[in-house]
Amino acid sequence: MRLRVVLFVLSALLVSACNGGSSSDDSGRGSAAERRDVIQRVALSPEYGNPSGTPPPEGDYACTIYGGGPPGIQIPGTCRWDGERDGDAWIVSDTQTWRCADFSGIGGAGGPCTGEFGSHAWRHRVDGNGEITYLGSEGQFPPSLAE
């Protein structure tokens, strides 16, 4: 099963790489450069993201999800930032995924993590002037909100 998933992902990457070098598509995602810029605007903003100065990589990437404290917990996970056009604005999402065996979130808002993986996503709107508005979040109780 995992081999099928890997082959599917590799096929999808090959197809997208052979898209003739087009910088935009027709699905409302906008150009890659626009999407990267708007994601970085949210990801690096002190109010909503990580103001470390390090922009997030594209696609899924291994990350450490910090939470609780002191001394604080550190949960290995997979993170992903994504952006989609919404008229003249953008909807940017930040999704964290972790193994439920590493963090169950029992008693937290959104319910406990009971499957193999849990995830939580935060959404923001970036208008045509670059103003960022928090839209909300959904998913299991995330490690980053643990106290």
Q: Whole-model pTM?
A: 0.72
**Domain-located, residue 109:** yes
> Among the residues of 1-143, which ranges form H helices?
2-17, 32-43
109: domain range? Answer: 28-145
Position 67, amino acid: G
Domain count, the chain: 1
How far is residue 87's CA from residue 109's CA, in Å, rounded to a whole number?
Answer: 32
**Domain-located, residue 3:** no
User: Which is it for the CA torsion 68, 139, 16, 35, positive or negative?
Assistant: negative
In tens digits, the chain (147 residues) has pLDDT values of: 333 333 333 333 333 333 333 344 445 567 899 999 999 999 998 877 666 677 888 789 999 988 876 678 899 999 999 999 999 999 999 999 999 888 876 555 556 777 899 999 999 999 999 999 999 999 988 888 887
**Domain-located, residue 9:** no
**Domain-located, residue 1:** no
**Domain-located, residue 91:** yes
Q: Counting Cβ atoms within 10 Å, is residue 122 exposed (0-12), middle (13-18) or buried (19+)? A: buried
**Domain-located, residue 131:** yes
How far is residue 53's CA from residue 51's CA, in Å, rounded to a whole number?
Answer: 5
**Domain-located, residue 77:** yes
**Domain-located, residue 85:** yes
Q: Counting Cβ atoms within 10 Å, is residue 53 exposed (0-12), middle (13-18) or buried (19+)? A: exposed
Residue 19: which residues within 8 A CB-CB, separation 6 or more? 25
